[in-house]
Amino acid sequence: MKKLFLSTIALYVSLLQAFSQTAPAEATTYQYKPLSLEEVNLTSSYYTQNGNHSAVTGGIGNEKVLDFSNGFDLKFTGWDGFSRKHTVTAGLGIDYHSSASSAWVSETGASKKGGTRIYPSLNWTMEDLKKGTTVGAGLYYSSEYNYHSFGLNAEYAKKNKKNGELSDKVNIFLDRVTMIYPTELAADYLPTTVVNTGASGSSSDGGSGLPKSGRYTFSNSLTYAQVINKRLQASLSVDLVGQGGYLGLPFHRVYFSNTLDRVEALPSERFKLPVGARLNYFIGDNIILRGYYRYYMDDWGISAHTASLEVPVKITPFFSVAPFFRYYTQTQGKYFAPYMQHKLTDEYYTSNYAYSAFSSNYFGVNLRIAPPNGLFKSKLSALEIRYGHYTQTTDLLSDVLSVDLKFK
C-alpha cells in the first residue's frame, strides 16, 4: 500500500511539472460583460429499489426504498476586461425518501415514514483564455434529520498547445452524524448525561439530547484529457481519498453467532485509490462510443472494477438516443460478515452488504431532444429523459427515471 501511495504521489508531481512551463494558448479578446443569467436547469427523478439485506436489521430484512428528488441550478456568465470568463452556478436540491427499514431505526429521533434532504450549492470558475487556465471554487451543504455535511472544493486546469488539459480538484467534506441508536441498544451506548467532548468529535445535539459524531473526507482528483485526433478523445484520472472520524452508522445492527446484537464498528480511518480512463470515439457524424474503465482499491480490503459503454446515436439533427451499460464487481471487505456470522472476538464488524462481494449490472437508455429554436419555440432548449435498471447479485434491484429540462 505504501509503495502504491508513493508511486501515485510521484505521478501527480511529474504531471504537474510537465504543465508548469506550458506556453499559453492563443485567445480572442473580449470586452467587459457583467454576469447575466445564461442557463436554467431543472431535474426530477424517481428511484425505487427492493432487496432483502437491510443493514438496519443486521443484513436481513426489507431494503425497499422510494426516493423522489428535484433540483435546479442557475448558471450566470460574464467577462472581465482581461478576457477571463467567469461562471457562477447556484443550485438547490430537495430529496424525499421513504424506507421500509426506517421503522427499525429507533422509536425516537428517526422518521418511520421518510425523510427529506436539502442540499444547496454554489460554484465559481474563471477561465483565462490567454493563458489557457481555469480556476474555481465551490461550497456545498447537505442536511437531513440525522446527517449534516459541509463541503468545500477548489480546482485548477491548464491547457497546452497539443489539445491537452491537466486539471486538479480538491474536495473537503466535514460531516456530523446524529447518534440515533436502535431502541434496544440505546441504553448501552448513550451516556446518562451528554456533554461536549471536544477533541473526540462528539457533542450534544441540543434539542434532542442525542450526541453527534464527526467525520471528514478529503479527496484530490488529478485528470489529464487529450484530443488525439478529430475522432478520438481520451482522459486518465487518479483520485486520492482519505476519510477519518466516525465512519459507520449508529443504527446499523450486527448480530453475532450467539444472537447478541450490537451497533456496527468500523475503523476510524480509510484510504481509497480509484484510477480511471475514458475513451470517446466518433464514428462518422451520428454515432459516438463512450467507454470508461475504473479500478478501485482501499485499505479495508475491497478492490473493484467498473466498465461502462454508452453509445449516443443521432437519429435526426435534433434528436438522439443513447443506450448505456455498466458492469461492476468488487471483493468482500475484511470487516464484513452476514447475519449471525460475526464472532465476539472481532474488533471491527458490519453486516452492511455494501462491503460484501458482489457484481452488478446497470443498463438503460437516454433520450435527448434539442431543436435549434427551442422546444415549442420557447426558451426550453433541451429535454432529456433517462431510464436505468440496476441488478445486483445480492438480489438488490432498482429502477430510476429522470427528466432534465434546460432553459436558455
What domains, with CATH codes, occur in the chain? 2-171+178-192+217-407 (2.40.160)
Q: For residue 103, what is its C-alpha cell?
A: 421503522
Q: Which of 315, 404, 305, 322 is nearest to 363 (CA)?
A: 322
Please enumerate in sequence order all residues whose Cβ is within 8 A of that of 372, keeping only pairs 6 or more positions apart, or say none: 318
Q: What is the pLDDT of residue 29?
A: 53
Q: Tally helices (H) and strands (E) across the chain.
A: 2, 20
Residues 155-187 pLDDT 10s: 999 999 999 999 999 999 999 999 999 888 888
Going from the C-alpha of 339 to that of each of 182, 248, 250, 383, the distances in angstroms are 16, 17, 17, 45
Residues 94-131 pLDDT 10s: 999 998 777 777 655 444 556 899 999 999 999 998 99
Answer whether 310's CB lies under 8 Å from 362's CB: no
pTM here is 0.86
Residues 245-297 pLDDT 10s: 999 999 999 999 988 899 999 999 999 999 999 999 999 889 999 999 999 99
Answer whether 177's CB lies under 8 Å from 266's CB: no
**If pLDDT is split at 50, 70 and 90, which confidence band does 36 have?**
very high
